[in-house]
Amino acid sequence: MSDHTAPDHVLRPPALRPGDTVMLVSPSGPTRPERVARGIELLTGWGLRPVLAPNVYARHGYLAGPDALRAADLNTAFADPEVRGVICTRGGYGAQRVVDAIDMAAVRRDPKVVAGFSDITALQLALWRGARLAGVHGPGAAWRDERTPLASAESLHAALTTTEPVTVAAVPAEETFGVRVPGRAVGRLLGGNLCLVVASLGTPDMPDLTGAVLLLEDVQEPPYKIDRMLTQLRRAGALDGLAGVAVGQFSDCSDGWPVGVADVLTERLGDLGVPVLGGLPIGHGPGQLTVPVGTLATLDAAAGTLTVAPAVR
């Protein structure tokens, strides 16, 4: 599907309502109960009923348990009619290793909202490929108030529970604020973490970005690696026909060279001939806000806003 301005062809799960059960899963890296306790407190405060997937705290090196356990937890969540939302605890690494084991028929039969970011981009891309499921790019349940304060919590809550469009405004304090090409773009918002978008090249999960607005963010990647990844996307033809680029937070991405991440983003995205808007507080940085992915977005570089249709109905 390359028509990313068509309003249909997307599976929107029902919005979460008070009393709904949400399952906390760890498809990627390992987490700890003390990190997740605050997330459980938040979800409970919203009237939701968080339950833990059987292997949510499993550990296997840098993975949250062996592949079979992580895949089983995802399929348990997707198959259980009582579970109305799937909240990932964190990113890290490992979602790519299990996405091919997801029961996509179960996802299509009973769509539920899936929230997460970072490595969870691999899961969102797989669910888009396998079920055209709209998702939620936002903080996980391993919640840290110092990074994601009240505004972050309210943003996630709104994306999960309301059918209002989400508008995120560029913030001058963000390092990527100066990355901008004037114009207005309308298209489906796809993408997320730059590393995971690039890692999906050559797999069935790399979406056709023709007519899409591409969301990009990353963390702890020096500018030359950002350059390398964007160059690979360009050389692969993945950015041909884009409608626009929404640039989120590129946190802790400086190194010893005098070229900053904003310079690289401007150089590698600025000549694509499409609107580009940086400075969006979406990603790994302080004040992270939540956006739907897989739904129609309007990027207005002059106004400094990204407005995205809800992922839920």
Residue matched to tokens 């009237």: 47
Selecting among 4, 137, 157, 284, the annotated active-site residue is 284
Selecting among 137, 152, 157, 217, the annotated active-site residue is 217
- Tell me the C-alpha distance between 182 and 177, whole Å: 13
Does the active-site annotation cover 217? Answer: yes
List Cβ<8 Å contacts ≥24 apart for 71-74: 71/98, 71/101, 71/102, 73/23, 73/25, 73/26, 73/27, 74/25, 74/27, 74/98, 74/102, 74/123
CB 49 within 8 A of CB 169: no
CB 264 within 8 A of CB 228: no
Give residue 138's identity as a one-letter amino acid code.
G
What is residue 137's three-state secondary structure?
strand
Contacts with 151 (C-beta within 8 Å, 6 or more apart), sequence order = 287, 289
Selecting among 4, 26, 28, 118, the annotated active-site residue is 118
CB 138 within 8 A of CB 115: yes
Strand partners, 217: 193
Half-sphere exposure of 158 (CA within 13 A, CB side): 18
Residue 267 has phi, psi (to 5 degrees) of -70, -45
- Tell me the C-alpha distance between 141 and 25, whole Å: 9
- Tell me the C-alpha distance between 217 and 279, whole Å: 10
- Tell me the C-alpha distance between 226 and 222, whole Å: 7
- Tell me the C-alpha distance between 96 and 112, whole Å: 20
Does the active-site annotation cover 137? Answer: no
Active site residues: 118, 217, 284
